[in-house]
Structure 1
Amino acid sequence: MPRVRRCRQLGCHAMVTFPDHYCQQHYEHEAEYLASRQRWARSNDKQYTHKYNTVIRYRNEDKRQQYNFYRTRQWSHLRQQVLERDHYLCAYCKVQGVITPAKTVDHIVPIEFDETLKANVDNLAVICGSCHHAKTDWEQSYYGTGNSNALKDVEPITDINRILLMMNGGI
């Protein structure tokens, strides 16, 4: 007798044979379900996570120390202080006249470029996800930060208005 199980569609009580998850009536959801299972398996795969952390994220001792800083009590206090100072609003959107709630605190001058500014409250700003993505791309081109890039000898920019202009191609 073949192994069977209930269809995964909510409210459907039809029985399906292994290895299928959906009955004939709901079979169009099968590919989507299998793709979501693969995404989940990849995110919970210890080998993948280990390779990401040891090869990409912590590629050298400097990067390891930079990421360890984000697990300290000092960082959590600085982060909370900046969030309350900026009222949980993205500083980059606020300059453009848009109010966007955010919970990410970002270094204006990246610590990869200037390690001495990592605990300076004046070098921290609240940033939303879309601005953070754009700023990271800009930092990689301006400062040379990021994986497989060489740091450039440029002047650090601490003014959010000027950074926004440069991010948007104004300067």
Structure 2
Amino acid sequence: MVAFPHYYCQQHYEHEAEYLASRQRWSRGNDKQYTHKYNTVTRYRNEDKRQQYSFYRTRQWSHLRQQVLERDHYLCAYCKVQGIITPAKTVDHVVPIEFDEALKADIANLAVICGKCHRAKTDWEQAYYGTGQGNELQSVAEITDLPSIVILMNEQSI
């Protein structure tokens, strides 16, 4: 028997922390207030951001994304540069659209990226280009060469 307020009996109590964490993740993802606050404060914080994110809900983006996934065979282009094969389903702008809006629908500016590389690249973009909330865009040259970006990403993460 399980004693209230616990979810597991004494024999299986070690699973309770994992269960509670999964419930919390689920509720956060399905909490309308949390989602609303995230959208209004972070995602749509100004009109430029609102337009950027509305692009991702267009038919044009859907078709571009599918073309890039098929072109790159659903493999992370950034890992492939390092000789690693990693399946991925996210399509990334090599030069962020926040830095150069003209490249947002350019298929040559798109690459498939895995979650690990995406986090590292986002950190690098924020430092190099000055993208992201609270940062100021820098006056720097665009880097479109994936091997160069991978080297810079790896240097920053050290």
| TM-score (ref. length: structure 1) | 0.83
C-alpha offsets along residues 1-59 of structure 1, whole Å, 9 cap, x if unaligned?
Answer: xxxxxxxxxxxxxx445433333333343343333323322222211111011111111
Task: From the superposition, tell whether residues 16 and 95 of structure 1 become closer, same or farther in structure 2 (CA, over 3 Å).
Answer: closer
* Aligned match for 1:37, one of 20, 23, 27: 23
Residues 17-166 of structure 1 aligned to structure 2 (within 5 Å): 17-166=3-152
Shift of 1:150: 0.5
Partners of 1:97 and 1:30 in 2: how far apart? 40
C-alpha offsets along residues 106-129 of structure 1, whole Å, 9 cap, x if unaligned?
Answer: 101000000000000111111111
Unaligned runs of 5+ in 1: 1-14
Higher helix fraction (1 or 2):
2
Q: CA RMSD in A?
A: 1.7
Residue identity opposite 1:51 in structure 2: K
Task: From the superposition, tell whether residues 149 and 22 of structure 1 become closer, same or farther in structure 2 (CA, over 3 Å).
Answer: same
Unaligned runs of 5+ in 2: none
User: In terms of mean alpha carbon deviation, does 25-34 or 48-57 score higher?
Assistant: 25-34
Residue identity opposite 1:67 in structure 2: Y
| TM-score (ref. length: structure 2) | 0.89
Q: Percent identity?
A: 80
Partners of 1:158 and 1:124 in 2: how far apart? 10
Task: From the superposition, tell whether residues 31 and 83 of structure 1 become closer, same or farther in structure 2 (CA, over 3 Å).
Answer: closer
- Please identify the structure whose Cα radius of gyration is greater: 1
Residue identity opposite 2:76 in structure 1: C
